[in-house]
């Protein structure tokens, strides 16, 4: 049995009638692996060393910034042109966010669309970039992460203010 035949059989049995973009997922995993390898090579070529430990404050800062950047990339209307080739607009989702759907055809476009609309999926890529930034450009990365953390705090305050205002009425 050939490799293509085996791959099709596995895909059919895995997807149970609902097309899953396994080849697209595999491509995304390959790209992610290449990005991580490239970042590792860049760190080595720059002569920098990896930290023995990451301060807890950096973990929190990067965590909150990852949350915000992932939401911006996957949900906000302003970044919809980046997602448009892989998604279809559905409706507003409130608080400057929109709902989009991905084609359910099991294509690579479907796999990319899932990545581009899933803040949990995107967070892995964003956290990887920010973590590499702590090694390659720590001052700049901390500054940008601080800005995104401030935006996150502002978002929560905006929602709290709106709720308090509604309660007062």
Residues 102-161 pLDDT 10s: 987 778 899 999 999 999 999 999 999 999 999 999 999 999 999 999 999 999 999 999
Strand partners for 76? 97
Q: What is the pLDDT averaged over residues 52-71?
A: 97
pLDDT of 63 above 80? yes
Measured distance CA(112)–CA(32) in Å, rounded: 12
**Structure confidence at residue 89 (pLDDT):** 95
Q: What is the pTM of this model?
A: 0.86
Residue numbers of the domain that contains 108? 3-168
**Structure confidence at residue 36 (pLDDT):** 98
Measured distance CA(52)–CA(91) in Å, rounded: 46
**Structure confidence at residue 29 (pLDDT):** 95
Q: Are 117 and 85 in contact, with CB atoms under 8 Å apart? A: no
pLDDT of 10 above 80? no
- The percent of residues in the chain predicted with pLDDT above 90, rounded, is 78
Please name which of 77, 68, 66, 169 lies closest in space to residue 127, comparing C-alpha atoms. 66
Number of domains the chain is built from: 1
**Structure confidence at residue 17 (pLDDT):** 62
**Structure confidence at residue 54 (pLDDT):** 95
Q: What is the pLDDT averaged over residues 21-25?
A: 85
Q: Are 61 and 146 in contact, with CB atoms under 8 Å apart? A: yes
């Amino acid at each position: 049995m050939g490799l293509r035949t085996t791959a099709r059989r596995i895909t059919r049995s895995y997807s149970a009638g609902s097309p899953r973009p396994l080849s697209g997922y595999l491509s995304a995993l390959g790209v992610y692996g290449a990005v991580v390898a490239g970042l590792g090579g860049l760190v080595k070529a720059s002569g920098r060393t990896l930290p023995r430990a990451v301060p807890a404050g950096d973990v929190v800062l990067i965590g909150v910034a990852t949350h915000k950047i992932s939401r911006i990339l996957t949900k906000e209307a302003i970044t919809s042109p980046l997602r448009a080739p892989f998604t279809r607009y559905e409706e507003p989702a409130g608080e400057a966010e929109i709902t989009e759907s991905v084609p359910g055809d099991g294509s690579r476009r479907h796999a990319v669309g899932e990545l581009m609309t899933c803040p949990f999926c995107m967070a892995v890529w964003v956290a990887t970039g920010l973590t590499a930034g702590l090694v390659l450009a720590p001052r700049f990365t901390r500054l940008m992460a601080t800005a995104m953390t401030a935006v996150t705090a502002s978002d929560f305050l905006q929602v709290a203010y709106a709720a308090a205002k509604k309660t007062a009425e």
